[in-house]
């Protein structure tokens, strides 16, 4: 991962005071809610006065691009403040409005994100462009969250023909209902998503992981079946083997859990959590 490279670490330590938080701990959840962190990994840059400079949400695998973005933010380039400043002379620029909308979206500011995404639809002449289609999706998502009404996203997800955006819509819907603590709706949304995206191993893994992470005991068998189906599609995905192993162990299938976690460890030998789980499962047999 890029965070472990020496040049990246040296740059961070020279320019920032680094703090890593586990979002699933009590203190982590408090900060996650305070800063409206949309998912993992998220890195947020602050001034010494506590003002947010900008944030990077997710990691696309391009370490050089990620590092360059960090340098840009440190130098005040391509931050939200910088883009808003450029808007003074580029209000009719669809791409600039789109970039600003994405910034607000990453910060969980659905109200402002919606304003700029709607400007994109008004300014972008190519209604089949990636930017236009993504703006449409984000409008549905922003309305759902800002108006506390999932109907926008539900309609969009059901009717969207773009598989990537359909996946995003269903993922956002499950998050919406999870925040509402409506487990039944989360599960029914995942089930609909699997019907709409029957060959999407990532969606299957997300569903199975949700069942494990939230200890939905009545659905352990369903989660195991879904994870196994995902592995038929992506047999070399260590994260799915991990999900399967964790579910099997929770469901009491210790021998099968060991086999699954061993597979995860073999596929990703540098992942220490797989080895730790494997040892824990083996110890449970003695």
Q: pLDDT tens digits, residue range 102-130?
A: 999 899 888 899 999 999 999 999 999 99
pLDDT of residue 64: 83
Count Cβ atoms within 10 A of the Cβ of residue 228 and give its class: 0-12 exposed, 13-18 middle, 19 or more buried. Answer: middle
Using alpha carbons only, how large is the chain's radius of gyration in Å? 21
The stretches of 79-182 forming alpha helices (DSSP H) are: 80-86, 94-106, 110-123, 130-146, 151-159, 163-179
Q: Domains of the chain by range and CATH?
A: 1-76 (3.40.30.10), 200-286 (1.25.40.10)
Pairing of strands 52-57, 42-46: antiparallel
Residues in the chain: 286
Burial 107-119 (b: 16+ CB within 10 A, else e): bebbebbbebbbb
pLDDT exceeds 60 at position 1 = no
What is the model's pTM? 0.75
| Tokens found for residue 82 | 């910088």
Q: pLDDT tens digits, residue range 40-95?
A: 788 898 988 888 888 988 877 788 888 898 898 889 999 999 999 999 999 999 99
pLDDT of residue 232: 98
* Cα distance between residue 205 and residue 225, in whole Å: 11
pLDDT of residue 4: 66
Q: What is the mean pLDDT of residues 204-209?
A: 98
Strands (E) in the chain, as ranges, are: 42-46, 52-57
């Amino acid at each position: 991962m890029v965070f472990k490279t020496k040049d990246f670490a040296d740059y961070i330590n020279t320019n920032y005071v680094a703090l890593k938080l586990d979002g699933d701990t009590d203190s982590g959840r408090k900060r996650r809610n305070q800063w409206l962190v949309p998912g993992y990994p998220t890195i947020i840059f602050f001034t010494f006065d506590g003002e947010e400079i900008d944030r990077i949400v997710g990691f696309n695998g391009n370490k050089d691009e990620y590092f360059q973005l960090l340098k840009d933010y440190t130098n005040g380039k391509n931050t939200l403040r910088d883009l808003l400043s450029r808007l003074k002379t580029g209000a009719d620029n669809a791409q600039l409005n789109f970039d600003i909308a994405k910034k607000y979206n990453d910060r969980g500011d659905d109200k402002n994100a919606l304003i700029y995404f709607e400007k994109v639809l008004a300014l972008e002449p190519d209604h089949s462009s990636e930017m236009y289609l993504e703006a449409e999706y984000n409008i549905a998502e922003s309305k759902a969250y800002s108006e506390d009404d999932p109907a926008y996203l539900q309609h969009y997800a059901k009717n969207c023909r773009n598989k990537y955006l359909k996946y995003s819509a269903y993922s956002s819907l499950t998050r919406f209902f999870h925040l509402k603590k409506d487990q039944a709706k989360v599960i029914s949304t995942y089930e609909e998503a699997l019907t709409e995206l029957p060959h999407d191993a990532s969606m299957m893994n997300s569903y199975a992981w949700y069942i494990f992470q939230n200890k939905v005991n009545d659905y352990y068998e369903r989660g195991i079946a879904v994870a196994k189906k995902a592995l038929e599609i992506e047999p070399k995905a260590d994260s799915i083997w991990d999900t399967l192993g964790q579910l099997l162990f929770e469901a009491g299938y210790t021998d099968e859990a060991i086999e699954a976690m061993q597979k995860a460890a073999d596929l990703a030998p540098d992942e220490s959590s797989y080895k730790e789980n494997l040892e824990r499962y083996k110890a449970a047999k003695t």
